[in-house]
């Protein structure tokens, strides 16, 4: 019998995978699934109301990241947006990092099959890309550099602003996958110096299936989808009005609460590390402990597998993960953890805990106690 059948309370601590939609955001979104269901391209009042709602959301998103409304395109999510940027390169050379999301890495592999050169930069033991490595990798035919703002597995924040300043002086296009960062840390596109930025609504308590794509005015990019004039002709197709509305309100809500939320989540992470380390001294904390997203902690538990821990926690109604949701279940060690220099066994012994808006300190205490009990149970079973 699982926790759903028992009626136990679910403790969700996998907010890096997705988040629960905010109650107030859902309230704003629902009318556009029911009464205000017009097509935003229609010229009668029901359609015009939908169009106005989209433009309001565009302004909300632009204001939250320091962009102009004309620089915001709505997509289906981060993976689509990342693929759009990378697939636009048709010759020359691309630079990325070894710990990017697979939507970037797989797109880069596709470019290589077309004969385009790709450099995959290493990271240090904290998961940080070196600006010096970028300087060494730049070539005369480098068309694009794509470096994520914050990693989805270990939370490490990259020196994107420094990289952006360097690339701007050399007129090299710069893209950052900010899916894990937007709504959680300050993200101002002009300060980062990026030409393209991607984000997903469901990572900051918005709706799944809606993405944010920032394209700097003046930066050239071919249309993604043909067939209509939606999104100024660069992404045709009837808009997901309800999802877009939710995105606008969710990003505003997240930015307004950002400082207080970051403080709360940081306390949760420190309490988790302290509580587990007190009972299991041999744990390894992955990533940069002083320069990471406030709610993510990735921990190696030597002697057990992360998958076994995850499943035992699941039986107790606690949701954590072993890696990115896009790669879990494949049986392979995390490419992010391997890039940090961990052994395959260590990489397979890690779990990621990611706290969010709806967690509380009681959740933390329960998670710590349950992990320690599960860990000891697995070790005892091995004797």
Residue reference for tokens 């048709």: 90
Return d(Cα 125, Cα 196) in angstroms, integer. Answer: 27
Residue 326 known to be catalytic: yes
Q: Which of 108, 319, 326, 372 is catalytic?
A: 326
Read off the tokens for 116: 């385009």
Q: Which residues contact 376 (CB under 8 A, 6 or more apart)?
A: none
- What count of other Cβ atoms lies within 10 Å of the Cβ of residue 64? 27
Q: Nearest-CA neighbor of 376 among 314, 284, 312?
A: 312
Which residues are paired to 321 by β-bridges?
Answer: 352
State the alpha helices, DSSP H only, in the chain: 3-6, 23-29, 45-65, 78-87, 102-113, 131-137, 160-169, 189-192, 241-279, 306-315, 335-339, 344-347, 361-382
Q: Nearest-CA neighbor of 93 among 145, 133, 142?
A: 142
- What count of other Cβ atoms lies within 10 Å of the Cβ of residue 104? 25
Which positions are annotated as active-site residues?
326
């Amino acid at each position: 019998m699982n926790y759903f059948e028992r009626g136990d309370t679910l403790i969700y601590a996998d907010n890096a995978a997705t988040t629960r939609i905010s109650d107030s955001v859902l309230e704003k979104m629902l009318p556009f699934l029911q009464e205000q269901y017009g097509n935003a391209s229609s010229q009668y009042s029901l359609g015009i109301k939908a169009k106005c709602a989209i433009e309001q959301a565009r302004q909300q998103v632009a204001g939250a990241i320091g962009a102009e409304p004309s620089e915001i395109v709505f997509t289906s999510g981060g993976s689509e947006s990342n693929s759009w940027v990378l697939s636009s390169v048709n010759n020359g050379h691309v630079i990325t990092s070894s710990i990017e999301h697979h939507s970037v890495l797989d797109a880069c592999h596709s470019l290589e099959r077309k004969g385009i050169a790709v450099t995959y930069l290493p990271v240090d033991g904290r998961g940080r890309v070196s600006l010096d490595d970028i300087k060494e990798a730049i070539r005369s035919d480098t068309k694009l550099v794509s470096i994520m703002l914050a990693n989805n597995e270990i939370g490490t924040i990259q020196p994107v602003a420094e990289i952006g300043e360097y690339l701007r002086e050399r007129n090299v296009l710069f893209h950052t996958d900010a899916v894990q960062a937007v709504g959680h840390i300050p993200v101002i596109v002009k300060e980062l110096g990026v030409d393209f930025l991607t984000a997903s609504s469901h990572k900051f308590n918005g709706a799944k299936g809606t993405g944010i794509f920032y394209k700097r005015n003046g930066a050239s990019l071919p249309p993604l989808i043909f067939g209509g004039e939606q999104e100024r002709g660069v992404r045709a197709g009837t808009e997901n009005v309800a999802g877009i509305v939710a995105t606008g309100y969710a990003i505003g809500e997240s930015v307004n609460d950002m400082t207080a939320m970051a403080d709360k989540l940081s306390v949760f992470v420190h309490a988790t590390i302290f509580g587990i380390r007190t009972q299991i001294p041999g744990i390894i904390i992955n990533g940069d402990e002083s320069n990471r997203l406030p709610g993510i902690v990735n921990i190696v538990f030597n002697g057990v597998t992360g998958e076994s821990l995850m499943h035992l926690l699941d039986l107790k109604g606690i949701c954590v993960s072993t890696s990115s949701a896009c790669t879990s279940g494949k049986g392979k060690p995390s490419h992010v953890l391997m890039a940090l220099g961990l052994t395959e066994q260590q990489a397979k012994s890690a779990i990621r805990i990611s706290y969010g808006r709806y967690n509380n300190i009681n959740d933390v205490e329960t998670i710590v106690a349950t992990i320690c009990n599960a860990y000891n149970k697995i070790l005892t079973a091995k004797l």
